[in-house]
Amino acid sequence: MTISALNSFRISVGTDVAAREIAVKQRGGSAPGLFWLGGFRSDMVGSKAMALDALGAEHGLAVTRFDYSGHGVSGGDFNHGTISRWLEEAEAVFALTKGSQIIVGSSMGGWLALLLARKLLSRGERPHALVLIAPAPDMTHTLMLPSFTPDEHESLQNNGYVDQPSAYSATPYRITRSLIEDGAQHLLFGSVIETGCPVTILQGGKDPDVPPAHAIKLVTHILHDPVTLTLIPDGDHRLSRDEDLARLRDAVLRLVGA
């Protein structure tokens, strides 16, 4: 099989002071294509994203990856990032795809995948399927805010941000008040979540950041579409071990043929 070339390019999203350059990597191939949405502070060259690209290359499937603004090699300031801003970028990059797409979202990318699916449905379109890895819908209000100490709540109000240590970075993760406030516009829990397609969820049983109960709560909100939840008892948040990547690969291939 001839492996299609990988194209790297940039697109501009937003206007005036909100304009930012978004880095994209796109591999040609057949449908359904694979569309990657990374997590908070992750990028398009992480192990899961690269495993997805390798899977596409092996099977002749189109693959699209990109970095949100303030992430990876894209432009923009991370501290200006909000769910609205990153969703706008996801929509702009998705518009570059051809044919049906399997949207694969990790952590925050799972929230964005659900929001993107809702946008598509509002236009009479639908994804081929969703694969959600430790999905974190509503994370600003169900995962971040409840974890803040009184001092962090005070910092959020007075300074406009909270710096929290992270197991994934030597530098703290900054969570801004604008991210929290904007997240309120995109909350999904509390009403039926429509995707218009099959949904597969991969969730680690030992995830310290997005607990299994969060994935189960998500399942109870998806009432009109088929959902498969795979709980990996010893899995962490990243789900990037060889066996985890094999599960991701198998999940995507099952949906390709569905």
pLDDT tens track for 118-140: 999 999 999 999 999 999 999 99
Residue 56 domain-assigned (yes or no): yes
What are 152-202's pLDDT values in tens digits? 999 999 999 999 888 888 888 899 999 999 999 999 999 999 999 999 999
Residue 173 domain-assigned (yes or no): no
Model pLDDT, residue 4: 78
Model pLDDT, residue 165: 83
Residue 175 domain-assigned (yes or no): no
- Note whether 59 and 250 are within 8 A (CB): no
- CATH number of the domain encompassing residue 48: 3.40.50.1820
The dihedral region occupied by 135, where left means phi > 0, alpha psi between -120 and 50, and beta the remainder, is: beta
Query: Residue 199 is part of which domain span?
Result: 6-139+189-256
Residue 155 domain-assigned (yes or no): no
Is 214 catalytic? The answer is no
Is 237 catalytic? The answer is yes
Q: Residue by residue, what is the 3-state secondary structure of the chain? A: CCCCCEEEEEEEECCHHHCEEEEEEEECCEEEEEEEECCCCCCCCCHHHHHHHHHHHHHCEEEEEECCCCCCCCCCCHHHCCHHHHHHHHHHHHCCCCCCEEEEEECHHHHHHHHHHHHHHHCCCCCCEEEEECCCCCHHHHHHHHHCCHHHHHHHHHHCEEEEEECCEEEEEEEEHHHHHHHHHHCCCCCCCCCCCCEEEEEECCCCCCCHHHHHHHHHHCCCCCEEEEEECCCCCCCCCHHHHHHHHHHHHHHHCC
Model pLDDT, residue 258: 74
Q: Which two tokens stand for residue 58?
A: 């092996």
What is the chain's mean pLDDT, rounded?
96
Q: How many domains does the chain have?
A: 1
Phi then psi dihedrals of residue 152, to 5 deg: -70, -35
Query: CA 72, 76, 37, 222 torsion: positive or negative?
Result: positive
pLDDT higher than threshold 60 for residue 1: no
User: What whole-number distance in Å separates Cα of residue 119 and Cα of residue 113?
Assistant: 10
Query: CA 240, 212, 166, 78 torsion: positive or negative?
Result: positive
Model pLDDT, residue 2: 61
Is 207 catalytic? The answer is yes
Q: Calculate mean pLDDT across residues 236-252.
A: 98
Residue 167 domain-assigned (yes or no): no
Q: For residue 202, what are the β-bridge partners?
A: 133, 230
Q: Which of 107, 186, 214, 244 is catalytic?
A: 107
Model pLDDT, residue 214: 98
Integer CA distances (angstroms), 204 to 63, 74, 132, 247, in order = 25, 29, 12, 12
Residue 162 domain-assigned (yes or no): no
Residue 95 domain-assigned (yes or no): yes
Residue 170 domain-assigned (yes or no): no
Q: Which of 138, 207, 209, 244 is catalytic?
A: 207
Which residues, 6 or more positions from 59, have their beta carbon under 8 angstroms from its beta carbon? 29, 253, 256
pTM (global) more than 0.85: yes
- Note whether 232 and 41 are within 8 A (CB): no
What are 36-93's pLDDT values in tens digits? 999 999 999 999 999 999 999 999 999 999 999 999 999 999 999 999 999 999 999 9
Q: What is the largest CA-CA distance in the chain?
A: 58
